[in-house]
Amino acid sequence: MPRNLDLTAVRAFVAVADAGGVTRAAGLLNLTQSAVSMQIKRLEESLGRTLFLRAARKLALSPEGEQLISYGRRMLALNDEVLDRFSSTACEGEIRLGVPHDVVYPAIPGILRRMAQCYPRVRVNLVSSFTLVMKEDFARGLFDVILTTEEAPQAGAEVLSARPLVWVGAPGGAAWQRRPLRLGFKDTCIFRPRAQSALDATGIAWEMATGGESEQAVEATVAADLAVSVRMVGSIPDTFEVISGENMLPPVGDMKLALYRTNRRRDEATDLLMAELRMAYGS
């Protein structure tokens, strides 16, 4: 049967080694000298080794004690980290995160998974919506953190990057060559007016192939080569292909990715979420 070291005895051993004696270690541990001495004796007996050399009224680590001290410190550090992580009430509850539909993939699933591993007591509740709607709800206190795609982020936003917008269609598709050009966008998609203005400026006739607020309907229509759409570089579904070549459609500029954070939650779990979002969506 495997044996387990007594961490209480290990803590006493490390305290004595660091303090240079039993008396000072007892004061640090809030124990009696006899209790500390008993812990050291118990640890030595369990290991079958002498951990301290007692000479000239001073304690010095034996060769075996010198080997154990680094292990002991690491064991105690890991023990304290685990207890702090699972006992802390500062990292509990809910973080309400808002992310636009078209930038959820591929980064957000991995971020949510790592958050759950690091802070199992924290629930990150993801809402996927439109930037304009999320900003209104953020102002009303319904979100803790939102990631937005917008042309001009407001004061207080942390701008992460500016990414190009590109035309996308079905892989190997020809919908982009047809006129009028059929477009696939949700009614409130922030990219839609940018695309329409770019086409108007170059005299390309267009018509809408989709309506309403169904992202699935848009993706199905574009993937079937019945329309084209616009997406941000780095957030293009596998079912789409960037339209390129000599007869490319007119450029539609870029869009900024920005972070907004409320003052309601100021803890290390929210700090980690912010750091993950910066890494995934930063320049």
Residue 57 pLDDT: 66
> Would residue 1 count as lying in a domain?
no
d(CA 226, CA 169): 9
One domain for residues 56 and 125: no
Whether 82 and 120 map to the same domain: the answer is no
β-bridge mates for residue 127, sequence order = 98
Whether 207 and 232 share a structural domain: yes
* Number of domains composing the chain: 2
pLDDT in tens, 256-274: 999 999 988 888 899 999 9
Length of the chain, in residues = 283
Res 126: pLDDT: 97
Place of tokens 């051993």: 13
Peptide bond connecting 171 to the previous residue in cis, omega within 30 degrees of 0: no
The answer to whether position 2 is within a domain reads no
CA distance 100 to 87: 34
Give pLDDT, residue 230: 95
| Residues of the chain under the 50 pLDDT cut | none
Give the integer Cα–Cα distance in Å for 76 and 10: 8
Whole-number pLDDT of residue 89: 60
DSSP, collapsed to helix, strand or coil, labels residue 214 as: coil
Give the pLDDT of residue 188: 84
* Alpha helices in the chain, H assignment, sequence order: 7-19, 22-29, 33-47, 63-87, 107-118, 131-139, 192-201, 215-223, 268-281
Question: Do 62 and 179 sit in the same domain of this protein?
Answer: no
Same domain, 212 and 81: no
The CA distances from residue 228 to 80, 187, 208, 242, 272, in Å, are 55, 15, 10, 10, 37
Last residue of a domain, one of 64, 87, 110: 87
Residue 19's CATH number: 1.10.10.10
The verdict on 101 and 123 lying in the same domain is: yes
Q: What is the pTM of this model?
A: 0.65
Say if 43 falls within a structural domain: yes
At residue 208, what is the residue type? M
Question: Domain boundary residue among 62, 87, 112?
Answer: 87
Nearest to 116 by CA among 101, 98, 94, 134: 94
Boundary of a domain, candidates 87, 108, 129? 87
Residues 132 and 184 in one domain: yes
One domain for residues 126 and 240? yes
Domain interval for residue 38: 7-87
What does the alpha-carbon distance between residue 155 and residue 174 come to, in Å, rounded to a whole number? 42
If asked whether residues 147 and 184 sit together in one domain, one would say yes
**One domain for residues 117 and 57:** no
Calculate ∠ Cα 18-24-28, nearest 5°.
80
106 and 226, same domain (yes or no): yes
Residue 120 belongs to a domain with what CATH number? Answer: 3.40.190.290
227 and 123: one domain? yes
